[in-house]
Structure 1
Amino acid sequence: MIAVTVALAIVVGISLGLLGGGGSILTVPLLAYVAGMEPRHAIATSLLVVGVTSAIATITHARAGRVRWRIAVLFGLVAMAGAYAGGLIARFVPGTVLLVAFAVIMIAAGVAMLRGRKDCAVADQPLPVVRITLLGIAVGLISGLVGAGGGFLLVPALALLAGLPMPVAVGTSLVVISMQSFAGFAGHLANEQIDWKLAAFVTAAAVFGALIGGRLTALVDPTTLRKAFGWFVLLMAAVILAEEVNPVVGATAACLTVIAAGMAFVCKRYAHCPLRRILDQRPAHAAMA
């Protein structure tokens, strides 16, 4: 199964390099269900993989001018504190509870990706200190607690609150993800044993994929890819629910996801579909409330 795990890790890297998020959403199930790791070990290892991969993927985006360093460092510092705290708290929570919580976060992330976000002009002013502190701590806690790098929360926040265009939000998020992932990993390291050999293989494969994803950012339509990835995230959440809660719950969620994806695909190609207005909505102010 190591070969399969490494091959799928390349997909994880492509996701991080291209979307600026989604790496941990795929890494935790990959390590838990394909590599057979215990949930807590999978979560800790995922933070290492995502941290290293994001740091290296940042290089491609930085060279292309797609990183806002001032915002990244400010956001990243407070997120690191939250991630470290989340890593310490995680040892008191059962592995099953962590994975179910992770599935819930995946559902929220999938819906956010499907709804999309509106690109804005680059903001010259930094985020308000209070807002960035609260947002950074919240994202960091989630990262450290459930092994999520936080990119699926960071990219919308940077695009909507900081006014960054999508490619710049992706590049900037990778800096923050690497910072808070390393902090979360440090919190787990005192309590969990790491399979360093497997972690090295998975990380190397993910880095390779991230370099590919970084180069694809300027070539692939991000809206189409993000929506496809959103549906995939919802399916992965259904798999986790089936494994951890009840097969019926997971199967039902998976079927509903497939049906919804099919309806969205068909409706986009039918001019008179009543759902077109819902599918085409781009709420620009919802996240500002």
Structure 2
Amino acid sequence: MTLSWILMIFLLGIIGSMISGMLGIGGAIIKFPMLLFIPPLFGFTAFTAHEVSGISAVEVMFASLAGVLAYRKSNLLYKPLIVTMGSGVVLGSLVGSFASSLFDESAVNIVYGILAMIAAVMMFIKREEIAQSTTIHFNKILAFSLAVIVGLASGIVGAGGGFILVPIMLVVLRIPTRVTIASSLAITFFASIGGSIGKISTGQVPWLPTIIMIIASLIAAPIGAKLSKKMNSKILRILLAVLIIFTAIKIWYDLLF
């Protein structure tokens, strides 16, 4: 591997992890297409969808943990929500990650494209902003069930599921935006544990690019989390929606044309 290849992977990790820290997602929604499409543009050998999903699964675990640690002194990590959805998403992602070895390249990308489309649509459903000071109530059975479903799908593509958990928490469970961003990082961390176990056990993780991405995430994710505390919550939602839509369009364009 050349120095230019290492620097490219590191830069992709820095950009993706900083954005993921800002938006409360593990970053697979950003890093999956970046790793899939950008290396070939610079003349490097393309990663397969299974390799990208393996890299994402392990790297997201470290990126989300780094983001959580940046929020640890705040009151935005809502433990009842984290425990309920975290347990559901671990169960789903563990099953999904083992099952992913049975899917071909196109199937992995299709699952990813479907997740991105659902998340994009949900981001544009109108909702009233819930005041952060308001006591948080949510349906635990619904939250657990949705987390299992998201975990199954995200386990297949090596994602922590934060990019779809965030709109679910905002729109369906009606959790305040800043609490959602912080708590979703913790839930994504639990999801990535199950996903990583499955991907590693089935030999889908190329370790050198994974380690490079992990180092980048440990540097950039906490910076992104700190920046999010200073940004308007509406701007954060709009930025997330734009990223999800762009990614969904790119994935489906490459699948269909």
Same fold per TM (> 0.5)? yes
Task: Note the 1:58-97 alignment, pairs <5 A.
Answer: 58-97=68-107
Relative contact order higher in (CA < 8 Å, ≥ 6 apart): 2
Q: Which amino acid aligns with 2:193?
A: F
The share of aligned pairs that are identical, in percent, is: 23
Residue 171, structure 1, aligned to residue 182, structure 2? yes
Residue of structure 1 in register with 2:14 after alignment: 10
Structure 1 vs Structure 2 CA RMSD: 2.2
| Counterpart in the other structure of 1:217 | 228
Instruction: Flag the 1:176–1:3 CA change in 2: closer, same or farther, 3 A.
Output: same
User: Which amino acid in structure 2 is aligned with residue 147 of structure 1?
Assistant: G
Asked if 1:194 corresponds to 2:208, the answer is: no
Establish whether residue 53 from structure 1 lines up as the match of residue 63 from structure 2.
yes
SS in structure 1 of the partner of residue 160 of structure 2: coil
Name the amino acid aligned to 1:64: S
The separation in 1 between residues aligned to 2:237 and 2:140, in whole angstroms, is: 30
- Bigger CA radius of gyration: 1
- Partners of 1:124 and 1:32 lie apart in 2 by 42
Tell me, in whole angstroms, the C-alpha distance in 1 between the residues paired with 2:240 and 2:181.
Answer: 15
Q: How does 1:1-289 map to 2 (within 5 A)?
A: 1-21=5-25, 23-35=27-39, 36-115=46-125, 117-121=127-131, 124=135, 127-246=138-257
**Which secondary structure state, in structure 1, belongs to the residue aligned with residue 72 of structure 2?**
helix
- Is contact 1:41–1:192 with CA below 8 Å preserved after alignment? no
Deviations 1:257-276 (A, max 9, x none): xxxxxxxxxxxxxxxxxxxx
- With 107-116 and 143-152 compared, the bigger mean Cα shift is at 107-116
Unaligned runs of 5+ in 2: 40-45
Number of matched residues? Answer: 246
Distance 1:112 1:125 in 2: 21
Q: Check 1:15–1:225 CA distance in 2 against 1; reply closer, same or farther (3 A cut).
A: same
- Structure 1 residue 109, shift from structure 2 partner: 2.1
Bigger drift between 143-152 and 28-37 goes to 28-37
Q: Deviation of residue 86 (structure 1)?
A: 0.7
In 2 relative to 1, CA 192–117 (structure 1 residues): closer, same or farther, beyond 3 Å?
farther
**TM-score, length basis structure 2:** 0.86
Supply the AA of the counterpart residue of 2:81.
Answer: I
